[in-house]
Structure 1
Amino acid sequence: MIIVTRPSPEGEVLTTQLNQANFPAIHLPLFDITAGNDLVNLQQQLNQLLPLDIVIISSPQITYIIKNNLANLSLPKHVRYFAIGEKSAKLFGQLTKQSISYPEQENSEGLLQLLAHESLKNHNILILRGNTGRQLLMESLTLQQAKVKLIECYRRQPITYSNNILANNIDKQIIIVTSIENLLQLETYCQIAHKRQVNLIVTSERIFSHAKQLKWQKILLVASAHNQDLLTAIRRFYPNYGDNKLLKTTS
């Protein structure tokens, strides 16, 4: 069974795509997404931005939470918008009706490379994010003398399952993890056998490194968290689902 841990609604979409492609999959989100503590003040923060200041959208969840909670949010036209990845850019672009830049390497490191060509000194930068993450982004931009604020637009609330939710057919499991937070939460439900036998699919070098530190033995790194890229990778590396010769071992 392929277990999709990414939150709604992307998790359900990927699960449906996998099932339609004849890969048995279930959606097992590890977090609920709720409104963040800073969301109520987001309009005020945006109103204070000056020309050529920057807004960074860290994930698709930013757009989903704004649509559900701030339908009348007014987004300034005089600032520069950047996103971590293409999906985040396209979704937020529907709100702003403006061009949103994003890096080819869809992570914090890639965005920092893209921002290296921008004027940052003394400019305000709002990083729209969840209740954790993007510390590297904040620290690196601060070192470049930008005035950086982390804006908690949403919160991840852990979902509680029975401790043995993943206990059956461990050697036949593929688990998809798209954030470090999900990887760490996965520890709650994993046994030593999982780390030896399960095929773990991750979507960034940082998640890959953390998984190795946590002693996962079979890790497939997919360069993008796009659902279509994940589906393509599964078709490529697991065409005969269950054939252990196709696994990438990191031990």
Structure 2
Amino acid sequence: MQNCHILITRPEPENTLSCERLTALGAQPITLPMLEIKALDSPADKAKIQSQIFNIDEFHYVIFVSKNAARLAADWLDTCWPMLPEKVHWIGIGQGTTQTLINEGIPALSNPGNTSEALLEWMKPVKMTDQKVLIVRGIGGRTTLGDKLEEKGAKVSYLSLYERKKPEYKAQTFFMLPDIDLIWVTSGDNLINLSEYTEQYKPDWKTLPILTPSLRVNQQAINMGWINALCADGADDNSLLKATEFYIGK
């Protein structure tokens, strides 16, 4: 991994953390976030979120779809619940999200996989009829998880804590970057924004190896013209590092 130039496109603060870890391993990370995460902070949004958080003890399952969802929800829970309700099952999608919850003092469980599909497979034996489920996410997230749980009889609600925005970059940003050996993407939205900028400023990047977090996003990358898309089976640093080492060692 020595001196390997890796483009890190995940949003902050994870981008900085990934770059620090890669630097410690001798790689040369290049930071270029392709998503901005903005917490919902209008008075109306805050009032709605607070109301939902105060009622969180009504749910049998609370599922967090990302580290950002976990981090922001933890702040709200600290404000509204000095002691967490005991009968709620807290679940994180992916090891990174689950570990974020645990670090925040929330006793979360997770399935061995890293996607909504893997979580649904893990929960197949669980009786969901009339179980109340709260999915904590950003505005406009995928509905696959909620739809499938409703098919099993669950009563699903959503708590949106943030919105995703496309960062604004000028052409100069791309022309000043060094040569890239490998790219990390960690979500479908991340990939879409990267692809749009790549087509505009760096079309040759489409030939570079690009690590994706799941089979779904990997297929999405292939469909968008990335000819060397590789699945890392996770958006966390450990999964991406393992895939990076495998690729470099080939």
Q: Normalising by the residue count of structure 1, what TM-score does the alignment of the two structures yield?
A: 0.84
Alignment partner, residue 45 of structure 1:
52
**Conserved? CA contact 1:39–1:151, under 8 Å:** no
Asked if the contact 2:53–2:76 (Cα under 8 Å) also holds between the matched residues in 1, the reply is no
In terms of fraction of residues, the more helix-rich structure is 2
Which SS does the other structure have where 1:127 is aligned?
Answer: strand
Cα 1:9/1:50, change in 2 over 3 Å? closer
Could you tell me which residue of structure 2 aligns to residue 87 of structure 1?
Answer: 96
Task: Give 1:236 deviation, angstroms.
Answer: 2.6
- In 1, are the aligned partners of 2:58 and 2:132 still within 8 Å (CA)? no
Aligned to 2:189: 181
Counterpart mapping for 1:82-121 below 5 A: 82-98=91-107, 100-121=108-129
Aligned position for 1:194: 205
Question: Residue by residue, what CA displacement relative to the aligned partner does 1:67-126 show, whole Å, maximum 9, x if unpaired?
Answer: 55664132422221111012212221344543x221111110111012222221112111
Query: How high is the sequence identity, in percent, across the aligned residues?
Result: 26
Task: List alignment gaps of at least 5 residues for structure 1.
Answer: 240-245, 247-251
Worse overlay, 197-206 or 228-237: 228-237
CA contact (8 A) 1:36 1:153 kept: yes
Q: Distance in 1 between matches of 2:219 and 2:35?
A: 22
Distance (Å, rounded) in 1 between the aligned partners of 2:177 and 2:169: 17
Quote the Cα distance in structure 2 between the aligned partners of 1:128 and 1:36.
13
- Tell me, in whole angstroms, the C-alpha distance in 1 between the residues paired with 2:184 and 2:79: 35
How many residues in Structure 1 have an aligned counterpart in Structure 2?
Answer: 238
Change (3 A) 1:82 1:162: same
| SS at structure 2 position matched to 1:119 | coil
Shift of 1:60: 0.9
- CA shift for structure 1 position 198: 1.6
Change (3 A) 1:41 1:76: farther
Answering whether residue 36 of structure 2 is matched by residue 32 of structure 1, we say yes
* Cα distance in 2 for residues equivalent to 1:97 and 1:222: 27
- Displacement after TM superposition at 1:4 (Å): 0.4
2:86 is paired with a residue whose SS is coil
Q: Is the 8 A contact 2:65 2:92 kept in 1?
A: yes
* Structure 2 CA distance for partners of 1:153 and 1:52, relative to 1, 3 Å: closer
Contact 2:139 2:163 in 1 (8 A): yes
Query: Counterparts of 2:221 and 2:123 in 1: how far apart (Å)?
Result: 28
* Shift in Å, 1:163: 3.3
Note the alpha carbon deviations across 1:155-212, whole angstroms, 9 max, x for none: 11221011353356787442110000000111221133221x2221111011101001
What TM-score comes out, normalization by structure 2 length? 0.85
Structure 1 counterpart of 2:238, from 208, 228, 237: 228
Name the structure 2 match of 1:238.
248
CA, structure 1 residues 107+39, in 2 after alignment: closer, same or farther (shift >3 Å)?
Answer: farther
Structure 2, unpaired ranges of 5+: none
- Aligned partner of 1:7 in structure 2 is 11
**Superposition map of 1:116-195 within 5 A:** 116-163=124-171, 165-167=173-175, 172-191=180-199, 192-195=203-206
For the residues of structure 1 that align with 2:131 and 2:34, how far apart are their CA atoms? 36
Q: Secondary structure at the match of 1:153?
A: strand
Report the secondary structure of 2:234's partner residue.
Answer: coil
| Separation in structure 1 between the aligned mates of residue 235 and residue 177 of structure 2, nearest angstrom | 26
The one-letter amino acid paired with 1:231 is: L
Q: Residues 70 and 76 (structure 1 numbering): CA distance in 2 closer, same or farther, change over 3 Å?
A: closer
Pick closer, same or farther for the CA change 1:73–1:8 going to 2, 3 Å.
farther
Assess if the C-alpha contact under 8 Å between 1:39 and 1:152 holds in 2.
no
Query: Cα gap change, 1:72/1:80 in structure 2, threshold over 3 Å: closer, same or farther?
Result: same
- For residue 109 of structure 2, what is the amino acid of its counterpart? S
